[in-house]
Amino acid sequence: MPRQDLPVTSYALLGLLTFGDELTGYELKQRADMTLRFYWVSPAMSQVYSELRRLTEAGLVRPTGEGRGTTYRITARGRRDLARWMKETPAGFPVLKHPVALRLLLGHLVDTEDTLAMLRAHLAALEEELSALRGVRESLRGADHDGEVFRHPALVADWGLDYLDAEREIVAGLVRRVEAGE
């Protein structure tokens, strides 16, 4: 059975160590910021270090060095536990925890122009995220073929691009509906 005492964030960080390199906690946080933020929560620096301690104590990662220069590498046991977690635990259904949706729900408390400004600001933020994710996706070109280590991250980037594109269309439609008084 997969370890029940590890949160999903531990498995996410463990997974980020499977691309063949050793990373410091800071580098792992940078990788999380460049990847996880598009589809999961990128953990705080303090959480990265607390999860690395937990993973080290469980024998799932091996630290090398001391202090700020300590690097971490996934162990064979870590790979087995991560693969077992992938195979044996259900992915679950995502919960939409969306701050724009929450504010739209409460839009009756403010002027229509305030609601429109919020939706338009979200459209601008979506454009920025799309641009950033396009850069990530482009960086995977050439290493994204079947059997390559970055094949699946490329698929996730493609999914993210489609998802953000769809959200952009949904929000643009909401702007039109609010403008029309629907």
What would the pLDDT profile of 120-143 be if each residue is shown by its tens digit?
999 999 999 999 999 999 999 998
Contact 104, 119 (CB under 8 A): yes
**Residue 6: both structure tokens together:** 């590890």
How many C-beta neighbours within 10 Å does residue 109 have?
9
Quick one: average pLDDT of 41-58?
A: 94
Percent of the chain with pLDDT over 90: 80
pTM of the predicted model, to two decimals?
A: 0.79
* CB neighbour burial string for 135-165, b if at least 16 within 10 angstroms, e if fewer: ebbeebeeebeeeeebeebbebbeebbeebe
Which residues are bridge partners to 64 per DSSP?
Answer: 71
Closest CA to 43 of 14, 1, 68, 18: 14
Dump pLDDT digits (tens) for 81-124: 999 999 999 988 888 889 999 999 999 999 999 999 999 999 99
pLDDT at 3: 55
